[in-house]
Structure 1
Amino acid sequence: MKRKVSVLLAIVMILTLIPMSSFAQQNFDKQLKEAITKSKELFNIGKEYDKFSSDVSSYDGKTAFNLNWSDSKEKLGSINVSLTVDGEILSYSKSEPYYGENRPKLPKVSKDEGLKIAKDFIGKVSPDIAKNIKYIDRDEQLDIYSDLYNYSFIRTINGMIYDENNVNITVDNITGEVRDYYTNWDKDIVFSEAKDVISKEKAQELYKQKIGLKLIYKTSYIEREPRLYLTYASLRNNLGIDAKNGEAVQIGYYGPYYEGMDMNMGAKGEENAENLSPDEQEAVESVSGLISEEEAEKLGRKYLEINKDYKLDSVNLYRDWKNKGEYKWYLGFRKNVNGVEKYSSVAVNAKSKELISFYRWDDVNSNKEIKYNEKQALDIAKNFIVKTNPEKVNNIEYIDPVADSRRVDEVPQKIVNLNFMRIENGAYVLDDAIRVSVDLTEGKIVEYEMDWYNGKLPSKDKVISIDEAYNILFDQIGMEVRYTVPNRYEKTDNKKLEAILVYGLKKDKPNDIDANTGKILNYEGIPYEKREKISYKDIEKSYAKDKINILTQYGIGFSGNEFKPSEKLNQRDFLFLLAKANNSYLSSDISNNDEKLYSYLINTGIVKDDEKAPKKIMTKEEAIKYIIRALKYDKVADLNNIYKDLFKDTKDINPELKGYVSIAYGLKIVEGSNGYLRPKAELKREDGANLIYNFLFSN
C-alpha cells in the first residue's frame, strides 16, 4: 500500500504556528539566519529558487523554523525544510510542478539503489539518527503509477527496537532524488538497561495469565455484508509484559508493519402478477411493518424523557448496515434556553421499537460537584440495561477500561463511559456491545448506544483447544523484547520520557488465530499468506525474460514459479495480465475468479459481452485490440479509412482492426519483423508479457 508522508500536513498537525513578530524580542534572527544557511548548503538550494518564506513553530518545548523556497517562474516547484533552532532536521520535501499525463514510467533507479540513496541521505542530514535505525522491508508491490519508492526505518537501542520513533523517506525512482524526509524522534528520553530481563518462556506464561487469548467473534465486510468468524485473539492488543517485573503494561495498539427461500407469494397455482425477483421481493418484505414517523417520535421522546419544549429538528430512516432487512429511525430534537441551543438525538429499531442509541444534552460543567462514584455509575448503567434490554442482560460482560489505560495520574471525570461486550456461548462478539455514559454529578445517563448483530453466529463445536491456540501464537507469531513508553500521552510533568523493555507479540504477522483450523487470519478473516515475490525458474531462455521480471515487481504475473513462456496464451490469461496492468489496485481475488475478471473487463469497455472466450488462443491483432481499448483510443482506432498500410501483410489484418494496429505501432506497443506483422499469429505467453510491458512503458 502506497504511503507518502505529507510533510507540510505533518508539521501543521504537530506544531502550533506562532507569528514571527512574537519572537522578535527573543532574538531568533541569528538562529533563523543559521537555519537558512545550513539548509541551503545541505540541500543544495541555489539562487534559482528566488522566492522564500518562513515561520516559526513551537510544540512541547521544541521550537522549529519552517522554511520554504520556490521559483517565480514556477518551473522548479518548491522545497520545504523544517529544523529546530539548534539545527536538527525534522523534515524535508521537494515537489515539482506536474503538467504531463499520468502514465507509467519505467524506473531508472532500482528499489535497492533507492534504499542506498535513502540511507546516505539520512546519514548526511541526521548522522546520529542514522546510527540507530533499522530498515523495515515491507516488501510492498510497486505502484505502476507512482514515481516514488517509500522507505521506513524504526529506532533501535541496545540492539532492540523502539518503534515509537521512526524515519520515513521517499526517493524518486526516475531521478534518484529524495522527495520527502520525515522524522519522529524523541530526544529527551531515558532507556532502561538491557539486563535482568525475564526469559521468553516466562514472558509467555505471564502473557497467558495476565493478558491471554479469548474466543472472539470478529466481523469482516468483504462482500459489503457482515461476515462473522470465530478466532482465538486477545481483547487487549495494547498490552505487553514488562520484561523485568513481569507486570502487564500498555504498549500501544498492535498492528503489523502489513438456502434459498420460497418466494412464491401468490396462492398455489396462481401467477405472481408483480413478477418480482427474489432480491426485489426481499427488499419489499424488509420494509413491511415499519413503524410510522409519528410513533418513532413518541418512542424517542419517551426514551429521552423530554417534553414538547423540545422541537423535532430532523427525522431520517436508514437501513441497518449490520443487519440485513432492518431499518432504524434517527430523530434529532432541539430546545432554545436563553439563547443557547440544546440538542438531543435518539435511534430506534423501525420494526421492534427497540432503543438503539440516544444522546441527551447535559450541562456538565466545572461548577457541578461529583456525587457518584464509578461503582454507583456501573449500577445505574446495569439497571438501565435491565429496564431497556432485559433479554440481553445475560449476554453481556462489563469490560473494565482501567485495565486497558493503566492511568498514572487519576483525574476526576464528570462523565464515565462504560462498555458492556456481548458474549455468546462463552465467546466474545468483538463488534457487539452496549455502551453507556453516566453523568457522575447527577447520576443520569447522558448517552447510550447498542451495537448488535442479529444474524446467526458461526458454530464453535469444532474449535481447537486454548493450549493449541497458545502453541500457534508463540510458535508461528512469537514474542520479542522491545522498548516502549507506557502512558506517554498521559504524562503531566516535565520529566524525561522513560522507555522500558517489554515483551510484545511480533508485528510481522496478524495475531488472530482461526478457532476451527488454527490458521493465522488476516484482517478480513481469511487465512494470512505472506506475499512472496514472484520468481520464475523457467524464463532464462525467454527473449522477454527482463520484461517478465520487471512486470513481477508490479504484481503482474501468474502464480507459481513457472511462467511457461513458450506455451500458447489463451484469452483469459492475457486479459488477466492486462487487467492487472490497467488497474494496480484491482482485487487479488480475480486471479481465481473468471466471473469477476470478465465483469471488470466488460464494465471498463476492454471486452464486449460477445467476445468472452477464456480458452481461445490469442492472436496478435486481438491482443492489440484489447490493449488499445484499455488505453481508451478505440473510438479513434475505429476510424479505419484514415490509416495507411504499414506492413507488407496489412491485407491480412482484420479490416476492423487496422486502426488499432496502426495506433499500437505508433505507440511502439508492437513492431513488425522484416516489414511483416503476422496479425493472425497465435501468441505465446512470453509474447503476451512483451505486449503488456510495451503497453505500460513504451508509449
Structure 2
Amino acid sequence: MVMNHRKKLVALAAAVMLTSSLPAAAFAESANIPAAAAASGDAAVSDGGMDVPAAVKVSKEKAESLARQMVKIPKEYTLQGASLSADALAGGKRSVWGLDFVYKVNGKNKGSIYVRLNADNGQLLDYSTYLDNPSAKPTYPLKVEREKAQQIAYSFLSDIAPTYKDQVKFNPEYGAQQLPPLTGEVRHTLRFDRIVNDIPYVDNYIELDVDSEGHVLRYSLQWDDTIKFPKVDAKLTADEAKKKLIEQAKPELRYILPYNAQAPSKPVLSYDMGAFAIDAVTGKEVQSGYINPSLVSETPVADKPLGEAPAAVNLTEDQAKKAVLAAFPIPSSAVFSGSSYYENTDESSGATVANWRLDWELKNGKETVGSASATINSRTGLISSFYSYPYNNQAVSAKPALSYDQAEAKAVDAVKKQLPWIADELYIVKRDKSQYDPDKVPHIDSYYFNFVHKINGATADYDNVNVTIDANTGEVRSYDASINPYKYPEAAPKVITPAQAIEKWMTYYRTELTYYLTQNYVYQGQPIPVEKFKVMMAAGEIQPTDVEYNTDAQLIYRLVPRQLDESIFLDAASGEWKNRETGDVTQLEKPKATDIDGHWAQRQLELMVAYKALDVKDGKVRPNQIVTRGELIKMLVLAMNSGRSPILYGASEDAAASTSFKDVGTKNQYYVYIESALQQNLIDIGDGSFNPDGKVDREEMAELIVRALGYNSLANYEDLFNISFKDAGKMEKKGQAAIVVGLKIMTLSGGSFQPEKQVSRAEASAAFFRFLQTRAELQEAPLRN
C-alpha cells in the first residue's frame, strides 16, 4: 500500500479544553512568577481564609473575582495560595495581591495560572499560565506570525489595561526574531513602551508573550505612576548627541575565544565597546559601558618576566602536596585529610587537563578550627586555586592590622610568586579604598583583589586572577588563577585605529533619547552622594529611616545595540564583523537576493538564504542552479536543529584526525554539518569520500529526508508499499521514494519519480520546507536508523 500522509491530530487533553475559553491565554511552557509576588510585604494570607491585617481597598475575595473575570479563569482552577506584598515605587509603594490558581486531575497538577493585581485599584499587573500537555504539538508554518501576534497583544491590553493603551507605543525591535522560525514552538515577545512628553521611557512598558497558536502566555505591566518627569526645553539634538557619544567612546582591545566548532578555540583580537549614555542637556557621561579601562592599573605588577613558564611534569600526590605547602600558609599542625585526582579534556583547547585536589583540616590541638584545600595541575605544577577557611570562633579586632595598601602589596607578591613568567602582563584592578576605611566599616577581616591579564596591551577576556588577603595576619586566604596556555604573537599585531573601531561600532548602535532614573539621598537636610550613603549604611552610622530619598527622571541619550540573530564581535585586525560563536565573517545587514522575486519557490529560498544554507553572490541566489551535496546536508542539519549550527565536541589539534571524510577538512564550510549528519546516521562513511561539491539527484535527496524523519528502516521493507512509479525499475531506494511521495514532500512528474534527475536549489529548498511541515504534523517518530 502507499503510505498515507500522516496527520495524527491528537485530541487535546481535558485541561486544554477547560482553558480554551480564555481569550488568549492557555498554553504556556512554564509559570513565570515575578519575584515581587513572592517577597514578603505588609501581610500574607493563605487560601485558608485568615484575616488580612493590612488596609487595602481590594479584598482577597474581590481580587480573586477580578482575576477570574479579567483572564477568564475556568472554575475548575482553584485558588491554592494568595500573598499580599508591597512594590517599591519612586514616590512610595503599592500593595499587590499575588494569586496562584491550580488545576488538578487525580491529585496531579495539570495546570496553573498566576495573577498579580494592584490591591488598591484592581489593575492587572502580571499574568502567566502553565499547562502540562505533553501531547500538544507544534504546527508549521506558524498559524500566527509576529504581525498577527501584535494585533492580538494590542487587543488584549485594550481590554485589560485601557487606561494605559493610549500612553504606549509598540517597540518594533524588542523581541523581534530576525530569522524566520523553523519550528511551530515559537513565542512572540512584544513590548509597548511608555511614552512621556513624546519620548519613550523604556523602563516602563507593557510586555506580552503570544504563541504561534495565538494564545497570550504572559502579560506584564511594568509601570510607576509616581515618577515625576522633567519638561526639558533645551537639549542636544540627535546629531549633537551622537558627536558627544563618539567623543567619549572608549573602545578596548580584548582577546576573546569564539567557539569554533571546526577546531579547538584560538584567541582572536577584538575591539570591544560597551553601550553607555550621556546627559541629554550637558552631554556628560551618566552611564558607563560595561568596559571601564580606567579601573585597571596603567602599569603591570612587574616590568619584566620574573621567571620561566612551568615545564612539563607529572606530579605524584606527595609532590603536589609539597608544592602547595611551599606556596601557601598551611600550618604544620594541619592534618592532611584526603586527595582526589581527575583528568578531563578541555573542549576549548582540545588538551587533556590533569589535576590533584588536596584537602587539610586546620587544628588547634585536637580541635578542628578550619579547613584548607588546593587544586594543582599535575602536568605543569601550576596551582590554580587555594582556599583557607579558619572558623570564626575568635574575636575580630576593631581595626585590621594591615592597611589596604599593605594588603595590596601582599596580594601583588603572591601573584609574582605564583605566576612569575607573566608578571609583566598582570594588572591589578583599582578599588574604591573607602570600602575598606576602618573608621567607617567595622570588622574588616580580609581584603579582596583581582588582576587582569593583558598581552601587548590587550585584555585576555577569559583569564583572571583573584587573591584574598587576611586583614590581620597578611596571609593569603584564597587564590584563584585561570591562565589559559594559548600562544600569542610576540609583538602587537597591526590593528585598525580606535577611531575606526568607534566608527564601526556606531553602525551597530543606534542613539536613543529616553529617561533615566537617579536616586537622591538627603541626610540631616544635606544631599549626600550615593557612594557615601552606601558606606554609611555599611558602617552602621545611619539607618534607612534616617535618610530621605527621592527619585529624579533624567533625560539621556543612550546607545542601543541592534537586534541581531547572532552574537558578533569586531575583529581588530581586519575590521570585519564576525560571529561570536564560530568566528566566521558576518555582516550587520543581511544579504538579499535580487533574482527570486516572483519565483515559484521565493519563500522557501528566502528561508534557506536567511539561515545561510544557500549563499548569495553579487545579490543572486541562483535558484535554478543544481544544489550541491554540501548545501543539501547543511539544509537538512539546520532544519533538524531548529536553525542552530551543530556543535562538535572533542575536536583535535590534528586536523586530519578530526575529519571523517578525506575530502572534507576542518576548514571546509560544510565540515560541521557533514560531521553532524554522520553522527546522526543521516549519511554513511562509504569509501571515505563525501564529494561536497558534487551534484544531488532526486533519489539521494529522498533517502536523506527519510533518514531525517526516522523512517529509513521502514523504507527498506519495500513490500509494504504499493509502488506504481513508471520508472521504479531504475530505482534502488523505492521505499524511500514511496514515503516522500506519500507524505507529499516530493512529487511525481507524469507518474515517474525521475530518480536520476538532478535537484535545483529551488527544488531542494521547497522539499525541505515541506519536510518542516511534515515533521510538525507527525506526532511520533520511530528510532532513526
TM-score (norm 2): 0.72
Alignment of 1:507 onto 2:561: yes
SS of 2:487's equivalent? coil
* Map of 2:267 onto structure 1: 228
SS of 1:8's equivalent? coil
* Map of 2:425 onto structure 1: 395
Q: Deviations over 1:345-367 (max 9, x none)?
A: 22334355344321111446995
Question: How big is the shift at 1:68?
Answer: 1.5
Q: Specify whether residues 624 and 92 from structure 1 end up closer, same or farther in structure 2 by C-alpha distance, changes over 3 A only.
A: same
* Map of 2:296 onto structure 1: none
Which has the higher mean CA deviation after the structures are superposed, 303-312 or 600-609?
Answer: 303-312
Aligned length: 659
Residue 576 of structure 1 aligns with an amino acid whose one-letter code is K
Among residues 681, 684, 695, which one is paired with 2:760 in the alignment?
Answer: 684
* Map of 2:359 onto structure 1: 332
* Map of 2:320 onto structure 1: 296
Aligned counterparts, 1:269-418, within 5 A: 289-302=313-326, 303-318=328-343, 321=346, 324=351, 327-335=354-362, 342-363=370-391, 368-371=397-400, 372-402=402-432, 414-418=445-449
* Map of 1:271 onto structure 2: none
Among residues 491, 510, 515, which one is paired with 1:483 in the alignment?
Answer: 515
Question: How big is the shift at 1:628?
Answer: 0.7
Residue 690 of structure 2 aligns with an amino acid whose one-letter code is K
SS of 2:83's equivalent? strand
Alignment of 1:51 onto 2:110: no
* Map of 1:125 onto structure 2: 160
Contact 1:534 1:557 in 2 (8 A): no
SS of 2:52's equivalent? helix
Alignment of 1:8 onto 2:19: no
Percent of aligned pairs with the same residue? 20
Alignment of 1:34 onto 2:91: no
Distance across 2 between alignment mates of 1:309 and 1:496: 54
Q: Deviations over 1:90-117 (max 9, x none)?
A: 3222344434375653212222111222
Alignment of 1:466 onto 2:502: no
SS of 1:576's equivalent? helix
* Map of 2:253 onto structure 1: 215
SS of 2:561's equivalent? coil
Q: Specify whether residues 308 and 203 from structure 1 end up closer, same or farther in structure 2 by C-alpha distance, changes over 3 A only.
A: farther
Question: How big is the shift at 1:598?
Answer: 2.1
Question: How big is the shift at 1:293?
Answer: 0.9
Question: How big is the shift at 1:296?
Answer: 0.9
Which has the higher mean CA deviation after the structures are superposed, 9-18 or 657-666?
Answer: 9-18
Contact 2:112 2:131 in 1 (8 A): yes
SS of 1:141's equivalent? coil
Distance across 2 between alignment mates of 1:641 and 1:404: 83
Residue 398 of structure 2 aligns with an amino acid whose one-letter code is E
Distance across 1 between alignment mates of 2:670 and 2:321: 50
Q: Specify whether residues 355 and 578 from structure 1 end up closer, same or farther in structure 2 by C-alpha distance, changes over 3 A only.
A: closer
More relative contact order in 1 or in 2 (CA 8 Å, sep 6+)?
2
Among residues 624, 636, 641, which one is paired with 1:578 in the alignment?
Answer: 636
* Map of 1:436 onto structure 2: 467
* Map of 1:274 onto structure 2: none
Aligned counterparts, 1:532-571, within 5 A: 535-540=592-597, 542-548=599-605, 558-559=615-616, 561-571=619-629
Residue 350 of structure 1 aligns with an amino acid whose one-letter code is S
Pairwise CA RMSD of aligned residues?
4.4
In structure 2, the gaps of 5 or more residues are 1-26, 89-94, 292-309, 520-529, 538-543, 648-665, 778-785
Q: Specify whether residues 382 and 678 from structure 1 end up closer, same or farther in structure 2 by C-alpha distance, changes over 3 A only.
A: closer
Residue 426 of structure 2 aligns with an amino acid whose one-letter code is I
Residue 33 of structure 1 aligns with an amino acid whose one-letter code is E
Contact 2:372 2:388 in 1 (8 A): yes
* Map of 1:264 onto structure 2: none
Contact 2:508 2:562 in 1 (8 A): no
Among residues 656, 681, 690, which one is paired with 1:612 in the alignment?
Answer: 690
SS of 1:135's equivalent? coil
SS of 2:97's equivalent? strand
Question: How big is the shift at 1:383?
Answer: 3.3
Distance across 2 between alignment mates of 1:566 and 1:512: 35
Question: How big is the shift at 1:50?
Answer: 4.5
Contact 2:37 2:98 in 1 (8 A): no
Contact 2:208 2:219 in 1 (8 A): yes
Alignment of 1:136 onto 2:213: no
Question: How big is the shift at 1:380?
Answer: 2.7
Q: Specify whether residues 472 and 542 from structure 1 end up closer, same or farther in structure 2 by C-alpha distance, changes over 3 A only.
A: closer
Q: Specify whether residues 141 and 306 from structure 1 end up closer, same or farther in structure 2 by C-alpha distance, changes over 3 A only.
A: farther
Distance across 2 between alignment mates of 1:418 and 1:653: 74
Q: Specify whether residues 441 and 56 from structure 1 end up closer, same or farther in structure 2 by C-alpha distance, changes over 3 A only.
A: farther
Alignment of 1:83 onto 2:117: yes
Which has the higher mean CA deviation after the structures are superposed, 302-311 or 192-201?
Answer: 192-201
Alignment of 1:516 onto 2:550: no
Question: How big is the shift at 1:400?
Answer: 1.9
Distance across 2 between alignment mates of 1:59 and 1:5: 27
Among residues 703, 707, 713, which one is paired with 1:629 in the alignment?
Answer: 707
Q: Deviations over 1:606-660 (max 9, x none)?
A: 2222383444443333322111111111111111223223x25163352x42222
* Map of 1:266 onto structure 2: none
Contact 1:344 1:361 in 2 (8 A): yes
Q: Specify whether residues 187 and 314 from structure 1 end up closer, same or farther in structure 2 by C-alpha distance, changes over 3 A only.
A: farther
Distance across 2 between alignment mates of 1:671 and 1:168: 44
Q: Deviations over 1:241-297 (max 9, x none)?
A: 44455655445758xxxxxxxxxxxxxxxxxxxxxxxxxxxxxxx996212111111
Q: Specify whether residues 470 and 325 from structure 1 end up closer, same or farther in structure 2 by C-alpha distance, changes over 3 A only.
A: same
Among residues 140, 151, 160, which one is paired with 1:116 in the alignment?
Answer: 151
Which has the higher mean CA deviation after the structures are superposed, 589-598 or 343-352?
Answer: 589-598
Question: How big is the shift at 1:553?
Answer: 7.0
Contact 1:381 1:436 in 2 (8 A): yes
Distance across 2 between alignment mates of 1:467 and 1:541: 43
Distance across 2 between alignment mates of 1:308 and 1:432: 34
Alignment of 1:663 onto 2:663: no
Contact 1:348 1:355 in 2 (8 A): yes
Residue 619 of structure 1 aligns with an amino acid whose one-letter code is D
Residue 492 of structure 2 aligns with an amino acid whose one-letter code is K
Question: How big is the shift at 1:592?
Answer: 6.4
Contact 1:32 1:65 in 2 (8 A): no
Question: How big is the shift at 1:452?
Answer: 2.2
Question: How big is the shift at 1:14?
Answer: 6.5
* Map of 2:210 onto structure 1: 171
Distance across 1 between alignment mates of 2:768 and 2:124: 43
Contact 1:15 1:59 in 2 (8 A): no
Distance across 1 between alignment mates of 2:369 and 2:194: 50
Question: How big is the shift at 1:601?
Answer: 1.9
Question: How big is the shift at 1:520?
Answer: 4.4
Among residues 450, 456, 460, which one is paired with 1:419 in the alignment?
Answer: 450
Distance across 2 between alignment mates of 1:387 and 1:614: 53
Residue 631 of structure 2 aligns with an amino acid whose one-letter code is D
Question: How big is the shift at 1:554?
Answer: 7.1
* Map of 1:92 onto structure 2: 127
Contact 1:118 1:151 in 2 (8 A): no
Q: Specify whether residues 521 and 450 from structure 1 end up closer, same or farther in structure 2 by C-alpha distance, changes over 3 A only.
A: same
Contact 1:547 1:690 in 2 (8 A): yes
Contact 1:169 1:180 in 2 (8 A): yes
Q: Specify whether residues 251 and 209 from structure 1 end up closer, same or farther in structure 2 by C-alpha distance, changes over 3 A only.
A: closer
Among residues 59, 65, 77, which one is paired with 2:98 in the alignment?
Answer: 65
Question: How big is the shift at 1:507?
Answer: 1.8
The structure in which a higher percent of residues are helix is: 1
Distance across 1 between alignment mates of 2:603 and 2:252: 49
Distance across 2 between alignment mates of 1:461 and 1:548: 41
Q: Deviations over 1:371-391 (max 9, x none)?
A: 244333223322333444444
